[in-house]
Structure 1
Amino acid sequence: MAQLLTLDDNEVHIWRTDICQLSPELVASYLPLMSEQEQQRNRRFRSEQSRVADMITRVFARTVLSHYADIEPADWTFSQGEHGKPEVSNQGIKLRFNLSHSSKMVACAVSRSHAIGLDIEYIKRKNDVLAIADRYFSKLELNALFSLPVDQQQDRFFDYWTLKEAYIKADGRGISLGLGNFSFAIENADTISISFSDRIQQDPTAWQFRLVYPDPDHCMALAVQGHQQDLLVRQFETVPLKPKSSC
Structure 2
Amino acid sequence: MTYDQVPAKVAEHLRDDEIHVWRMAYDHRQGRAPFQAVLAAYLGRGIEDVHLEAGEFGRPRLAGAEAGALHFNWSHSGDQALCAVARGIEPGVDLERLRPRPRALEIAERYFSHEETAALAALAPARRDAAFLQLWTAKEAVLKATGRGLAFGLHRLGITDEDERLALRFLDGELPAHWQLHRLALDGDHVGSIAWRGAARTIQLRTLAPAAG
TM-score range for the pair, normalised by the shorter chain length:
0.7 to 0.9
Q: Do the aligned residues in 1 keep the contact of 2:84 with 2:93 (CA within 8 Å)?
A: yes
Answer 1 or 2: which has greater strand percent: 2
Q: Do the aligned residues in 1 keep the contact of 2:158 with 2:170 (CA within 8 Å)?
A: yes
Q: Do the aligned residues in 1 keep the contact of 2:166 with 2:181 (CA within 8 Å)?
A: yes
- 1:54, distance to aligned residue in structure 2 (A): 4.4
Q: Give 2:88's aligned amino acid.
A: S
Q: Do the aligned residues in 1 keep the contact of 2:76 with 2:94 (CA within 8 Å)?
A: yes
Aligned 1:92-241 pairs, distance under 5 A: 92=66, 94-189=69-164, 191-196=165-170, 200-226=172-198, 228-229=199-200, 231-239=201-209
Equivalent residue of 1:183, what SS?
Answer: strand
Q: Which residue pairs with 2:28 in the alignment? A: 53
- Structure 1 gaps, min length 5: 20-51
Q: Which residue pairs with 2:20 in the alignment? A: 13
- In 1, distance between residues paired with 2:122 and 2:18? 35
- 1:103, distance to aligned residue in structure 2 (A): 1.0
Deviation by residue 1:58-117 (Cα, 9 ceiling, x = unmatched) = 111111112312111121011222222110124246101111111120111111121111
Q: Which residue pairs with 1:44 in the alignment? A: none
- In 2, distance between residues paired with 1:97 and 1:178? 22
- 1:53, distance to aligned residue in structure 2 (A): 0.4
Moved over 4 A (4+): none
- Structure 2 gaps, min length 5: none
Q: Give 2:74's aligned amino acid.
A: L
- In 1, distance between residues paired with 2:87 and 2:62? 11
- In 1, distance between residues paired with 2:209 and 2:159? 33
Task: Report how many aligned residue pairs link the two structures.
Answer: 205
Deviation by residue 1:179-205 (Cα, 9 ceiling, x = unmatched) = 11211012344x3221336xx211111
Choose 124-133 or 66-75, whichever is displaced more: 124-133
- RMSD across aligned positions (CA): 2.0
Q: Which residue pairs with 1:29 in the alignment? A: none
